[in-house]
A and B are shown apart, each in its own frame.
Chain A
């Protein structure tokens, strides 16, 4: 895509989220109502299949474009599985199958499924928006099409987003010839990148809210933003946001080097998930501290971001999972290779 069309994708995402996501719609979503209008708007504008090539019916967006979409989804707390659907549609299309319409979801690597001759048996929990999904993509190997909502046991994460459980007994697999079985799978890699971008967007919005609040809230005769204690906390949070954002952006840019084999960007994806996930801790501490008691109420909108951030940092591998992957390799390669290996990533980073 050209940079002009990249800008259009970014603007469209921003516009649709601004129009359709509000505190009311977030409450509705948490009460279990599917955000149909938002979803249709996203689908109509091609964002759900953004990563699918134009020749395969998508809009041929880059991973860099997907970064801006996921960043905006995080910033607006979009209560729909857009990052999951973009990823699943990409995986399915890359396997030569036309992605089914409707919301799609991903099954992360910690499922307990076993596959035998076109059938899948076992249990999987924590499937994002499973109850709404027309199809779920199981880590690399298979595509499972689930039409009946009855098979899902509903569950939710800290933020009240659907994270459902499914138990399958010899359920027919739509296709079982999709990619390889490497771990971490392409699902976990892309999922971690998407959550990193969402976290970066969400944290930026949380700090903006805190800055706004500090400028309005009067205490001891002046806005609390005039107190050095508040200024320093927000400065620390903003620096962490800057770091999280660039880590996530670098991950997606590196994925664009080898768009079909994003495993080559594992270092940058792991780095992004670690840096963004760690930043969540201090940033959410600070934004809640600055908001005071009002930010601890259900009526204030802050929790619609912070509760998501606490959930997202766990998903598709927590910091410890990715840090162990990185660290194992670093310790195996040894101290002398540490710096040369790090700078050699520049060749991978455009």
Chain B
């Protein structure tokens, strides 16, 4: 009676199906453990500090998380990991972000450097580095962009030359978040001359010990007053041979795999959560119709982005590469978190004064910090390019 159709005349079937994922049965227990922990350890943490979200760092807090087993929590136990699922990790991350916990110190190591080493690192590298990350003792920064390179990563000029003592590296990295507190950098370095026929060839990744001689770090203050990013100079820096990650010349494909991990997490829609919290606080005193409508719209988006992001976590957990889906989360998530200050401006509609209280302080910070949301982790333009490729447009 039922005949499966075979002749749909659609060439460009839109690849947008993100099947909803669901959390594991033990998620609620874990969630309440995390909430109790946060209530205990962040009881006197100010709203202004929480507003910094995953840009705020506190090594002592990272160490406490390490003791809980909440860093590297999906990694094998032989490297100090807790062998939990990606969705359990998701619960921990989103609770941290919703509370505005200072997670920046270990964030990069947990999100991408550790997974990079699990994918491409040597056994020796893993044993040396991963357990310290899990303890909350070892922090990473990412040396990708460079002066004059911007988003065009293939154009980097920092050079690595093989010598008898190891790799000699010269050049500089720019916009390197948290380089000043990081123990290691994963640096993308040109190890073969540029090949005009294959711009992505000749790049390699190295683990750089930030305490080695030949490294100078220049802090760069951002418009929100944070000392978040830096310029890092290498002058005849020598990196031992065994600190090459993966294979020489394979840096581009390794970086591409790594970047997919950083586009779809809860940090792509929760960066402004503290402002939403303060906005709801501010408007609860005066719940008129237009305030309710404004807040209702925001929360509808928040709930949906969370579902999208969890759906991508399921795809990752299954071992598939969700490049297009992750880009959808970043595109839509960043538009949401970047748009909250404008909605708050519209609904509250008065001058923001930094001495005036929590709402004002958080609003002032997020209004300025939000500029970076569509720049970091691949600009909006790069992300739209990735989606366009996924749609078959390029």
Contacts and interface: CB of A to CB of B under 8 A. Distances in A.
A229 to B, nearest CB: 10
Interface residues of B, number: 67
B18 to A, nearest CB: 5
B277 interface: yes
Contact of B276 (A238, A338, A347): A338
B308 interface: yes
A177 interface: no
Interface stretch (A99-107, A147-155, A304-312, A324-332): A324-332
A239 B328 contact: yes
Contact of B12 (A211, A235, A247, A334): A211
A143 interface: no
Contact of A214 (B299, B381, B393): B393
Interface of A: 8, 11-12, 14-15, 18, 45, 204, 207-208, 211-212, 214-215, 225-226, 228, 230-232, 234-236, 238-243, 245-247, 249-250, 253, 267-268, 270-271, 274-275, 278, 319-320, 322-328, 330-332, 334-335, 338-339, 342-343, 345-347, 349-350
Contacts of A335: 277-278, 280-281, 284
B5 A215 contact: no
A88 B18 CA distance: 29
B287 interface: yes
Interface stretch (B22-30, B157-165, B184-192, B202-210): B22-30
B13 A334 contact: no
Nearest to B385: A231
5 contacts: A11-B4, A234-B393, A239-B387, A246-B307, A278-B297
B295 A241 contact: no
Nearest to A267: B303
- Main SS class of interface, B: helix
A240 B332 contact: yes
- Main SS class of interface, A: helix
A246 B20 contact: yes
A211 B31 CA distance: 42
Nearest to B280: A335
B20 A242 contact: no
Contact of B292 (A236, A324, A342): A324
B51 to A, nearest CB: 14
B14 A331 contact: no
B384 interface: yes
A110 to B, nearest CB: 17
A349 B300 CA distance: 15
Nearest to B325: A242
B12 A212 contact: yes
Contact of B287 (A246, A328, A338, A346): A328
Contacts of B391: 211, 234-235, 238
Contacts of B383: 235
Given A207-B14, A226-B393, 15 more contacts: A12-B2, A45-B1, A204-B16, A212-B11, A214-B393, A231-B393, A235-B384, A243-B332, A245-B16, A247-B300, A275-B301, A324-B296, A331-B284, A335-B284, A339-B277
Contact of B387 (A226, A238, A243, A326): A238
Contacts of B10: 208
Contacts of B291: 327, 331
A211 B17 contact: no
Given A204-B14, A232-B384, A339-B98, A242 B393 contact: no
Contacts of A11: 2, 4-5
Interface in B285-335: 287, 289, 291-297, 299-308, 311, 325, 327-328, 331-332
B7 interface: yes
A250 B20 contact: yes
Contacts of A322: 296, 300
Given A204-B14, A349-B22, A274 B307 contact: no
B296 A246 contact: no
A273 B94 CA distance: 25
B8 interface: yes
Nearest to A249: B20
B276 A14 contact: no
Q: Which of B28, B98, B328 has the most CB of A within 10 A?
A: B328
B283 interface: yes
A207 B16 CA distance: 11
A70 B201 CA distance: 48
Contacts of A343: 31, 94
A339 B38 CA distance: 14
Contacts of A15: 2-5
